[in-house]
């Protein structure tokens, strides 16, 4: 049994949990998952007791707890250097870190107005309040990364990387609230992500959470 335990929220809702979960599944890193259902009367007490930040996701490794999606990804990169979770080439790695940090700290309008609702499609499409600006910026990022670093491959930087995991919940939002206008490269990238076995597995979990 693996000594890594990833605590996550509901698969339908918890966009931050989705990122390290997808990274680990897609990179074939063995782990056990622990679900802490959000928005329940008992959620706050459980999170305050178990999670250093009071949020999910957090990763437990022995007596160490690492919280925050991007820090978890960095820790996994340190633990498993052979998996090359960041691109091997220096310039690609620098840009992959930049777009991952931008996702982590930005796109507030998209994240607020279009919250992840993984199992739903065709929800009302509001692009006010900065949402369209966020969509345009993400379209530019996906297009530029695919064109400059990911050409001839399926992902943003060639092989699947932390950057792809960081943008996975945007793919889900575009499905739920779209269609959105994307370049051919960005649209193809979305399809690649949606077809990943790990992405689909998360979707099955999201639908199961909904019917629980």
Question: Where along the sequence are the contacts to ligand GSH (CB under 6 A)?
Answer: 9, 14-17, 38, 43, 47, 55-57, 68-70
List the end-to-end C-alpha distance of the chain, in Å, as a whole number: 27
Specify the residue, 1 or 212, whose C-beta has the smaller distance to ligand GSH: 212
Q: Which residue is nearest to ligand GSH (CB)?
A: 55
Min. distance of Cβ 174 from ligand GSH in angstroms?
18
Least distance from ligand GSH to the Cβ atom of residue 90, Å:
25
Give dist(CA 74, CA 200) in Å, integer. 24
Least distance CB 151 / ligand GSH (angstroms): 29
Q: Write down the least CB distance from residue 167 to ligand GSH, Å.
A: 13
- Specify whether the CB–CB gap between 194 and 24 falls below 8 A: no
Would you give the DSSP letter of residue 90?
Answer: H
Nearer to ligand GSH by Cβ, of 45 and 126: the residue is 45
Q: How far is the CB of 36 from ligand GSH (least distance, A)?
A: 8
Q: For residue 33, what are the contacts with CB-CB under 8 A and spacing of at least 6?
A: 5, 6, 7, 8, 21
52 or 129: CB nearest ligand GSH: 52
User: Residue 42, Cβ neighbours under 10 Å: how many?
Assistant: 9
Alpha-helical (H) ranges within the chain are: 15-26, 43-50, 69-79, 90-105, 108-113, 131-148, 162-177, 184-195, 197-211
Supply the minimum distance, in Å, between the C-beta of residue 4 and ligand GSH.
16
Residue nearer to ligand GSH on the CB measure, 68 or 164: 68
9 versus 87: smaller Cβ distance to ligand GSH: 9
User: Of the two residues 59 and 182, which places its CB atom closer to ligand GSH in the complex?
Assistant: 59
Please, is 99 exposed, middle or buried when counting C-beta atoms within 10 Å of its C-beta (0-12, 13-18, 19+)?
buried
CA-CA distance, 197 to 47, in Å (whole number)? 29
């Amino acid at each position: 049994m693996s000594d890594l335990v990833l605590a996550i929220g509901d698969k339908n809702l918890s966009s931050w949990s989705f990122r390290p979960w997808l990274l680990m599944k897609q990179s074939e890193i063995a782990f056990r998952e622990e679900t802490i259902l959000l928005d329940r009367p008992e959620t706050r007490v459980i999170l305050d007791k178990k999670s250093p930040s009071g949020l999910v996701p957090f990763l437990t490794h022995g007596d160490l707890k690492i919280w925050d999606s991007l820090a978890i990804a960095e820790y996994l990169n340190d633990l498993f250097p052979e998996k090359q979770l960041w691109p091997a080439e220096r310039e690609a790695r620098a840009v992959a870190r930049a777009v991952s940090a931008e996702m982590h700290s930005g796109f507030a309008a998209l994240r607020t107005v279009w919250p992840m609702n993984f199992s739903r499609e065709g929800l009302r499409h509001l692009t006010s309040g900065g949402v369209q600006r966020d969509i345009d910026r993400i379209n530019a990022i996906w297009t530029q990364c695919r064109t400059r670093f990911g050409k001839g491959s399926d992902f943003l930087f060639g092989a699947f990387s932390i950057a792809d995991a960081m943008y996975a919940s945007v793919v889900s939002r575009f499905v739920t609230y779209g269609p959105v206008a994307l370049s051919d490269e960005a649209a193809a990238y979305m399809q690649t992500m949606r077809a990943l076995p790990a992405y689909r597995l998360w979707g099955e979990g999201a639908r199961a959470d909904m019917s629980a």
